């Protein structure tokens, strides 16, 4: 079978929104949907008798299957002909979802959650999976608006992966790709302000535009039917992407840009989008 779109659920409204988005995406990609939920076991922080009792474990399993049934119903309403399979997983939430990302074309998460997903709004689960998942991760937050797929380009090693995802998504959805590049750099600005560097801002802007055009050119050639807009601005990357995402269907970024340090979980721009984006966010490793 083809690789599925996987979506994680926990019974929250945010997870339901993720299921609806994932079902529509699986339908667009002409693949199937795998719905997973994770219940932690063993449970720590409780008296041993409660944490290891068979009644508690049975209750967690029953709740997990009820959560999956609700999610399946939501997926069937969104895409009635879609093949949907479910799985109740037992163990650590991040570790189990990381394993679930293997073999998937996409892992979809809600922006908030209950129980095992609490803290996702602060980035704990989403950041870990975006940094270490085996496939691109979409965090469904805000609302999808219009027909623009915004993608951040910074000249770093993840540009091609982010552009590939953006163009492929836009091609299946008949949307426009808006490729953005923010060329301001905090260190350059500080050096210029302090008088240590004489910068030609016009030249920097021209070079930034050339970089963006060069990075986008191969994907324009590969997807000639996809409309493309190029946006270059002297701004911080997160600020520019959040501005462009205000009326976007999806915003796409790499997990770490040219300014990232090896070993960091996730770039600051990606983390800012997970917390503040007005539309769904895709983080592509």
Position 246 pLDDT exceeds 90: yes
Q: Which of 23-27, 171-175, 195-199, 242-246 has the lowest mean pLDDT?
A: 195-199
**Selection from 173, 257, 182 nearest residue 223 by Cα:** 173
> Once rounded to an integer, what is the mean pLDDT over residues 180-201?
61
Q: What is the pLDDT of residue 121?
A: 39
Structure tokens at 201: 């801002």
Q: What is the pLDDT of residue 55?
A: 83
Q: What is the pLDDT of residue 266?
A: 46
Q: What is the pLDDT of residue 119?
A: 40
Q: What is the pLDDT of residue 185?
A: 58
**Selection from 71, 108, 103 nearest residue 87 by Cα:** 71
Tens digit of pLDDT for each residue in 212-222? 999 999 999 99
> Once rounded to an integer, what is the mean pLDDT over residues 72-95?
95
Same fold, 5-140 and 148-284: yes
Position 193 pLDDT exceeds 60: no
Position 98 pLDDT exceeds 70: yes
Report percent pLDDT > 70 for the chain: 80
CATH class entry, domain 5-140: alpha beta
Cα(16)–Cα(3) distance, rounded to whole angstroms? 22
197 confidence band (pLDDT: 50, 70, 90): low
Q: How far apart are the first and last CA of the chain?
A: 24
Q: Which CATH number does the domain 148-284 belong to among 3.40.50.300, 3.40.50.12280, 3.40.50.12370, 3.80.30.20? A: 3.40.50.12370
Q: How many helices (H) and strands (E) does the chain have?
A: 10, 10
Tens digit of pLDDT for each residue in 17-52? 999 999 999 999 999 999 999 988 767 666 655 556
Cα(146)–Cα(132) distance, rounded to whole angstroms? 31
227 confidence band (pLDDT: 50, 70, 90): very high
**Selection from 111, 9, 16 nearest residue 64 by Cα:** 9
Cα(121)–Cα(110) distance, rounded to whole angstroms? 9
Q: How far is CA 181 from the centre of its chain?
A: 19
In this predicted model, which residue has the larger pLDDT, 264 or 211?
Answer: 211
Q: What is the pLDDT of residue 132?
A: 83
Q: What is the pLDDT of residue 275?
A: 83
Cα(139)–Cα(141) distance, rounded to whole angstroms? 6
Q: What is the pLDDT of residue 80?
A: 97
Tens digit of pLDDT for each residue in 115-158? 444 444 334 677 778 878 899 999 998 888 889 999 999 888 88
143 close to 111: Cβ distance less than 8 angstroms: no
In this predicted model, which residue has the larger pLDDT, 199 or 248?
Answer: 248
Q: What is the pLDDT of residue 181?
A: 93
Domain positions in the chain = 5-140, 148-284
Structure tokens at 89: 């997983």
> Once rounded to an integer, what is the mean pLDDT over residues 190-204?
58
Q: How many CB atoms lie within 10 A of CB 47?
A: 8
- For strands 281-284 and 137-140, give the pairing: antiparallel
Position 250 pLDDT exceeds 90: yes
Where is 87: in which H helix or E strand?
strand 84-90
């Amino acid at each position: 079978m083809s690789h599925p779109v996987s979506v994680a659920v926990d019974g929250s409204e945010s997870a339901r929104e993720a299921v609806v988005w994932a079902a529509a995406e699986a339908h667009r990609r002409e693949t199937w949907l795998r719905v997973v939920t994770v219940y932690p076991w063993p449970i720590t922080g409780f008296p041993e008798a409660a944490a290891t009792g068979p009644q508690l474990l049975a209750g967690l399993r029953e709740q997990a299957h009820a959560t999956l049934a609700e999610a399946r119903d939501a997926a069937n309403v969104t895409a009635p002909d879609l093949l949907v399979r479910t799985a109740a997983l037992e163990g650590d939430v991040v570790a189990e979802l990381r394993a679930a990302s293997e073999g998937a074309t996409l892992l979809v998460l809600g922006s908030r959650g209950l129980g095992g997903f609490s803290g996702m709004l602060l980035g704990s689960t989403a950041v870990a999976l975006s940094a270490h998942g085996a496939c691109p991760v979409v965090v469904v937050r805000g609302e999808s608006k219009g027909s623009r797929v915004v993608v951040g380009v910074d000249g770093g090693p993840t540009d091609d992966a982010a552009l590939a995802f953006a163009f492929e998504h836009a091609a299946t959805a008949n949307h426009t790709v808006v490729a953005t590049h923010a060329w301001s750099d905090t260190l350059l600005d500080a050096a210029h302000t302090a008088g240590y560097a004489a910068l030609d801002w016009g030249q920097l802007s021209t070079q930034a535009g050339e970089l963006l055009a060069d990075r986008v050119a191969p994907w324009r050639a590969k997807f000639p039917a996809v409309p493309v807009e190029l946006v270059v601005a002297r701004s911080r990357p997160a600020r520019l992407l959040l501005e462009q995402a205000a009326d976007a269907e999806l915003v796409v970024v790499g997990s770490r840009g040219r300014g990232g340090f090896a070993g960091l979980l996730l770039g600051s721009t990606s983390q800012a989008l997970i917390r503040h984006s007005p539309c769904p966010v895709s983080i592509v490793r």
